[in-house]
Amino acid sequence: MRESVDVLIEKYKNNLFVIAFNICKNMQDSEDVVQDTFIQYISLKKDFETEQHIRAWLIRVAINKAKNKNMTFFRRNIVPLEEYMETLTFESHESSELFETVMKLPEKFRIVIHLFYYEDYSVKEISDILRISESNVKVRLSRGRMLLKNTLKEVWEDDK
Partner 1 sequence: MTNKEKYKQAFSTMHISDEFSVEVKKMITTNKKPKLNRLVASIAAFVLIVGSATMAYATDFCGIQRTLQLWIHGEQTNATIQFDGNGNYDLNYIDDEGNSKHQGGGGVAFDVFGNERPLTEEELMEQMAAPDVVYEEDGSVWVYWFNQKIDITDKFENNICYVKLENGDKTLYMTVRYENGYSTSPHKYIIP
Q: Which residues bind partner 1 (CB under 8 A)?
A: 5-6, 9-10, 13-14, 17-18, 21, 27, 30-31, 34-35, 38-39, 42-46, 57, 64-65, 68, 71-72, 88-92, 94-96, 98-99, 102, 113-114, 117-118, 120, 155-157, 159
Q: How far is the CB of 45 from partner 1 (least distance, A)?
A: 7
Q: How far apart are CA 68 and CA 119, in angstroms?
A: 22
Nearest to 56 by CA among 126, 135, 138, 137: 126
Q: How far apart are CA 49 and CA 18, in angstroms?
A: 25
Minimum CB distance to partner 1 smaller for 28 or for 136: 28
Q: How far is the CB of 156 from partner 1 (least distance, A)?
A: 6
Q: How far is the CB of 74 from partner 1 (least distance, A)?
A: 9
| Other residues' Cβ atoms within 10 Å of the Cβ of residue 41 | 20
Q: How far is the CB of 139 from partner 1 (least distance, A)?
A: 18
Q: How far is the CB of 26 from partner 1 (least distance, A)?
A: 12
Q: Nearest 5°: CA angle at 54, between 47 and 133?
A: 110
- The DSSP-derived string for 11-77 is HHHHHHHHHHHHHH-SHHHHHHHHHHHHHHHHH--PPPSSHHHHHHHHHHHHHHHHHHHHH-S----
Minimum CB distance to partner 1 smaller for 90 or for 150: 90
Minimum CB distance to partner 1 smaller for 1 or for 71: 71
Minimum CB distance to partner 1 smaller for 82 or for 120: 120
Minimum CB distance to partner 1 smaller for 108 or for 117: 117
